[in-house]
């Protein structure tokens, strides 16, 4: 198998993983979305920061939407920054709802969403 074919198969595998994860997020949004919303609304900004850092094994997160400290990651998840997650309740909830309910292809192809600030 040549390198080009292996690369294509790897890309297809990654795409299938993303599709499965999107379906899972949509399913969870329908089943437990209101519970997540209740929990998030009851967290203080400090508690939200702890939650964010706990999702990473090294505790490192984007400090703001253009934070270059994690290489180019901010190009892909600029809306998931500590500044945005701790400043207001609705940012995370709106982003999560959009990611769970919007068409996946539309999210990827157009980079269109309420929280898309900067893309490559």
Distance CA(88)–CA(6), nearest Å, equals 44
Tell me the per-residue pLDDT of 60-97, one tens digit each, with 9 for 90 and over: 777 777 777 767 665 566 677 778 788 877 888 988 89
User: Which residues contact residue 57 at a Cβ distance below 8 angstroms, ignoring those fewer than 6 apart?
Assistant: none
Tell me the per-residue pLDDT of 17-47, one tens digit each, with 9 for 90 and over: 888 999 999 999 999 999 999 999 999 999 9
What is the mean pLDDT of the segment spanning 1-22? 78
């Amino acid at each position: 198998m040549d390198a080009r074919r292996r690369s294509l198969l790897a890309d297809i595998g990654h795409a299938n993983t993303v599709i499965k994860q999107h379906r899972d997020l949509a399913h969870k949004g329908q089943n437990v979305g209101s519970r997540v919303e209740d929990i998030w609304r009851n967290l203080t900004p400090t508690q939200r920061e702890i939650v964010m850092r706990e999702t990473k094994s090294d505790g490192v997160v984007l400090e703001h939407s253009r934070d270059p400290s994690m290489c180019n990651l901010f190009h892909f998840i600029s809306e998931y920054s500590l500044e945005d997650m701790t400043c207001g309740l609705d940012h995370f909830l709106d982003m999560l709802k959009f990611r769970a309910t919007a068409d996946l292809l539309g999210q990827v192809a157009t980079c269109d969403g309420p929280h898309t600030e900067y893309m490559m």
